[in-house]
Amino acid sequence: MSSNDTFDIAIVGGGPVGAALAIALRDSGLAVAVLEAKQEFAARDPRALALAEGTRLILARLGVWDALAPHATAIETIHVSQRGRIGRALLEARDMGVPALGYTTAYGDLYQALAAALPEAGATLITGARVSAVRPAAGLGLVEFEQGGSVRGLSARLIVLADGGKSLPGAVKIKDYGQSAIICTVQTEVGHGGRAYERFTPAGPMALLPLGDDYALVWTTANDLVETRMAWDEATFLEHLQAAFGDRQGRFLAAGPRSVFPLRLVTASAVAEPGLVRIGNAAQTLHPVAGQGFNLGLRDAWWLAECALDFPREAFGGPEFLAAYRKRRRADVRGGIAMTDILVELFANDLPVLSQARGLALTAMDMLPLVKQSFARKMMFGVQAW
């Protein structure tokens, strides 16, 4: 590849969202480049991901679901409640007419399935490429990167900042929740039976997601308590987890290695930049409550590919193209951001009036099938209809 190479679309970041976009564009006849900072398309990320039913449909259309399915655990029921307070809602797949409300899989397994499909997508894959600058423009933009000790560049009609693009400069808005997520796998006395939990506590939400024979735990923790909880031995960790969660799954028997991730809401500027689109974490990074982050990012990739197929390549990155993409994504993205942020703010406190109101709201949702179905469909599909 020379510094004069020109592409229709350059994707900065070959993580799951960037890879999904490249796969969605296969057989399009477009010249697509994927720039990945690592030397290979592989991940060693310990997180578990909650994949909505709508995400499963997209992955099936991309041709990667069959490879991922053996590593995914179906979520048939979601139990939503608040610790020590009245009110709970039970969402069940059978009531929604779907095989599962979603699935849990390890990040690494998801990425492996997508990476295996990349070579057949027809894109130019550039690994070990640390992007140092992007200069988008109407017509042709420039991507500069370091590779093998040399500074190189390429031109593209449309530059897409995907997973890896979040570190590049740009106008962003950051809301720090003052919390981190402690994650690990845990074994419980009672088998999960396909049931997931979203448990709201005064210190923040905690989730148990069925993963294989165990649960994947996401425990929201105030930053000043993270060091202490990470230092606990396994017995102490399980004791405090039991006290925080309760005994709905019997006793917690074992916990795997723990990791920690800071929790922030990061959103990119909504101002259109000619020749540039941000998707996935480069566009929005959400709190993990309700598990919407990756699902939202994958829908970004899917609908951007749809726009690319609807427009002539000469229009990529132009005002009509950007307006069409924003129109496709505006309601879904704003709704996903608002829902997660509101859940964190309303449920992460112990004010008596709010606690009672939350309990009544959960009970009302559980008793009103149409309200429950509407909420569940938003969780599964976002605003888009599939």
Task: Kindly list the domain boundaries of the chain, sorted by start residue.
Answer: 6-43+113-172+268-344
Kindly state the average pLDDT of the residues 83-110: 88
Contacts of 143 (CB under 8 A, 6+ apart): 10, 12, 35, 131, 133, 134, 135, 153, 154, 155, 156, 159
Q: What is the pLDDT of residues 227-241, one digit of tens each?
A: 999 999 999 999 999
Q: What is the pLDDT of residues 172-219, one digit of tens each?
A: 788 999 999 999 999 999 999 999 999 887 777 899 999 999 999 999
Please tell me the predicted confidence (pLDDT) of residue 72.
97
Q: What is the maximum alpha-carbon separation in the chain?
A: 65
Prediction pTM value: 0.90
| Amino acid, single-letter form, for residue 27 | D
Mean per-residue pLDDT over the chain, rounded: 89
* Phi/psi of residue 33, nearest 5 degrees: -120, 140
Residue 8 near residue 32 (C-beta atoms within 8 A): yes
CATH number of 6-43+113-172+268-344: 3.50.50.60
Structure tokens at 58: 């997209």
**Residue 385 banded pLDDT, cuts 50, 70, 90:** very low
Work out the percent of the chain whose per-residue pLDDT is above 90. 68
Residue 2 makes CB contacts below 8 A (sequence gap 6+) with none
What is the rounded distance in angstroms from the CA atom of residue 26 to the CA atom of residue 243?
50
**Cα separation of 110 and 38, whole Å?**
17
Encode the chain in three state secondary structure. CCCCCEEEEEEECCCHHHHHHHHHCCCCCCCEEEEECCCCCCCCCCCEEEEEHHHHHHHHHCCCHHHHHHHCEEECEEEEEECCCCCEEEEEHHHHCCCCCEEEEEHHHHHHHHHHHHHHHCCEEEECCEEEEEECCCCCEEEEEEECCEEEEEEEEEEEECHHHHHCCCCEEEEEEEEEEEEEEEEECCCCCCEEEEEEECCEEEEEEEECCEEEEEEEEEHHHHHHHHHCCHHHHHHHHHHHHCCECECEEEECCCEEEEEEEEEECCCCECCEEECHHHCEECCCHHHCHHHHHHHHHHHHHHHHHHCCHHHCCCHHHHHHHHHHHHHHHHHHHHHHHHHHHHHCCCCHHHHHHHHHHHHHHHHCHHHHHHHHHHHHHCCCCC
Cα angle at 358 between 74 and 210, to 5 degrees?
A: 15
Q: What distances in angstroms separate CA 83 from CA 65, 75, 182, 359, 360, one per listed residue?
A: 36, 21, 18, 10, 14
Whether the pLDDT of residue 4 is over 70: the answer is: no
Structural tokens at position 65? 């679901």
What are the pLDDT digits (tens) for 32-80?
Answer: 999 999 999 987 788 899 999 999 999 999 999 999 999 999 999 999 8
Predicted local distance difference test score (pLDDT) of residue 23: 98
Count of residues in the chain = 386
**pLDDT reading at 377 higher than 90:** no
Q: State the Cα–Cα distance between residues 17 and 295, nearest whole angstrom.
A: 9
Kindly tell me the sign of the dihedral angle through the C-alpha atoms of 384, 269, 339, 183.
positive
User: How does pLDDT run across 321-376, given as a tens digit for each residue?
Assistant: 999 999 999 999 998 888 888 878 776 656 565 667 776 777 777 777 777 777 77
Q: Which residues pair with 158 in a beta bridge?
A: 9
What is the C-alpha to C-alpha distance for residues 269 and 172, in angstroms, rounded to an integer? 5
Question: Do 162 and 11 form a contact (C-beta atoms < 8 A)?
Answer: yes
Which residues make beta-bridge pairs with 193? Answer: none
